[in-house]
Amino acid sequence: MNLKANRSTIGFIGVSLLIIVFVQVLISVGVLSAFWATLISIGAVMGIVSLGLNLIYGFNGQFSLGQWGFYAIGAYTAADVTYRWSQEHSASGLVIVSLVVLLVGGSFLLIRYMLSRIRGLDPLSAFSLYLIGVVIAGFLAVKIGQFIINPVTAMFNILPASLAMQIIFFLAVLLAGALAAEVSFIFGMPVLTLGSDYFGIATLGFTIIVKVLLDNSDVLLGFEEMKGARGMVGIPKLTSWLWVSLFLLAVVIVTRNLLHSSNGRAMISVREDEIAAKAMGIDLAQQKTLTFVLGSFFAGLAGALYAHINGFLHPNTFNFIKSFDPMIIIVFGGLGSVTGTVMAAFAWALVLEGVLRLVLPTGFETWRFVVYPVLLLIMMLLRPKGLFGAFEFPFLRQVLPPLRKSQGSAATTPKPTIAEGD
């Protein structure tokens, strides 16, 4: 916009890229062991999930505990896509998931267009109609998919193996995000009308329902390769530091651009005062849904990246108790602070999984979760507003436009008396 803003943009992206490359060099050279490399990747993944949750809770004020459910959906979706390619040499996962995402997304747009003419349709009714759309679109996707699996597989086989794998991985991550976003759209529609705490509980329920479904993914859902409660193995380990960090950077920039726009302001106004927002012409339902969907999209991305770090997924990772982790991170980082969220995510991963493991003497490993809540408590008591409060790096901070010295026609005629406030 102006020079200063541009400078901080270039500075921020430059410094971020430098850090990313630096860490990559450390990993390549072997200064950072595989253990620590995994941990910082997990930190970046947590950063992405938590940024999503910060949008939903920190900026839009919707107390969601469902982030972990969308994370799980993303993880298993992407894992299934890459698993089928790497283990079964079939693009069936990719084809079906992309068709589902496209057709369901298309059906949403179509239904939304049709419903936009109807005034005063309640969310539950809208939800029912969308649900019908999802069922039809999903059915069609599976049917159509059968015909194009083989050609698509053949097409990817032409490419060099590693390139094909990376492309499929990249697509899988995006599809995982998109699928999580679509699920959040349909789930959020009726549930976002609930009051704050009740919304939290309903979304907690969502996380638990997803976890239970994953526990039974082989029997009830029919995904043999997910192996239900035994845990899914054999996922290619494709998430490198470079992938996660670039995704994290992209998510940070998208978040920042969104927040400092009219949409972002509308989003925040909902958190500030719902009634005032309504009275200013803000469509609450639309803003809440939008934020929820975007936050879940980030969660889906993060889940997909997480799945390919260890190459192993277990439903217990998506336990509801763990669903508080992103919440803890954003509260520590400072609600409504992008900088704080990213920092807290790395700190959380490094301290909880890394430092605590190393610091505790052998035989005391089980003390990790005794020390952790104590740390949590002390932090809450000392810094209830989070580590960073509302602090932001310059690039992430809002730039205040320069003052307009009374030059326009409007500013010339204020009544002198108006100025005297008190």
Q: Which residues in the 68-107 window bind another protein by CB under 8 A?
A: none
> Distance (Å, rounded) from C-alpha 168 to C-alpha 193?
37
Contacts 24+ apart (CB under 8 A), 136-141: 136/107, 137/100, 137/103, 137/104, 137/106, 137/107, 138/100, 138/103, 138/104, 140/99, 140/103, 141/96, 141/99, 141/100, 141/102, 141/103, 141/104
Residue 316 interacts with another protein (CB under 8 A): yes or no: no
Residue 351 interacts with another protein (CB under 8 A): yes or no: no
Please select the residue that binds another protein; options are 29, 113, 119, 160, rule is CB under 8 A: 119
Please select the residue that binds another protein; options are 18, 25, 110, 121, rule is CB under 8 A: 121
> Distance (Å, rounded) from C-alpha 371 to C-alpha 344?
18
Residue 370 interacts with another protein (CB under 8 A): yes or no: yes
Phi-psi region of 89 (alpha: psi -120 to 50; beta: other; left: phi over 0): left
Residue 248 interacts with another protein (CB under 8 A): yes or no: no
Residues 20-59 that bind another protein (CB under 8 A): none
Residue 202 interacts with another protein (CB under 8 A): yes or no: yes
| Cα–Cα nearest to 305, from 156, 180, 141 | 180
Residue 421 interacts with another protein (CB under 8 A): yes or no: yes
Least Å from the CB of residue 213 to another protein: 7
Q: How far apart, in Å, are the Cα atoms of 215 and each of 25, 87, 224, 372?
A: 39, 22, 12, 27
In order, the DSSP letters of 226-263 are: G-GGG-EE-------HHHHHHHHHHHHHHHHHHHTSHH
In order, the DSSP letters of 336-352 are: T-HHHHHHHHHHHIIII
Residue 193 interacts with another protein (CB under 8 A): yes or no: yes
End-to-end CA distance of the chain: 36
Q: Name which of 31 and 220 has its Cβ closer to another protein.
A: 220
Question: Could you give the dihedral angle defined by the CA atoms of residues 268, 269, 272 and 275, in that order, rounded to the nearest 10 degrees?
Answer: -150
Residue 261 interacts with another protein (CB under 8 A): yes or no: yes
Please select the residue that binds another protein; options are 4, 7, 237, 278, rule is CB under 8 A: 278
Residue 7 interacts with another protein (CB under 8 A): yes or no: no
Q: Name which of 361 and 373 has its Cβ closer to another protein.
A: 373
Please select the residue that binds another protein; options are 30, 160, 361, 401, rule is CB under 8 A: 401
| Cα–Cα nearest to 172, from 307, 83, 304 | 304
Stretch that binds another protein, among 38-46, 155-163, 168-176, 269-277 (CB under 8 A): 269-277
Please select the residue that binds another protein; options are 17, 25, 155, 212, rule is CB under 8 A: 212
Residue 357 interacts with another protein (CB under 8 A): yes or no: no
Residue 8 interacts with another protein (CB under 8 A): yes or no: no
Stretch that binds another protein, among 31-39, 121-129, 174-182, 353-361 (CB under 8 A): 121-129
Residue 359 interacts with another protein (CB under 8 A): yes or no: no
Residue 410 interacts with another protein (CB under 8 A): yes or no: yes
Please select the residue that binds another protein; options are 183, 191, 304, 305, rule is CB under 8 A: 191
Please select the residue that binds another protein; options are 1, 29, 34, 158, rule is CB under 8 A: 1
Residue 135 interacts with another protein (CB under 8 A): yes or no: no
Residue 133 interacts with another protein (CB under 8 A): yes or no: no
Neighbours of 374 (CB within 10 A): 11
Compute how many residues bind another protein; rule: CB under 8 A.
99
> Distance (Å, rounded) from C-alpha 76 to C-alpha 234?
12
Q: Is 292 within 8 Å of 55 (Cβ atoms)?
A: no
Residue 358 interacts with another protein (CB under 8 A): yes or no: no
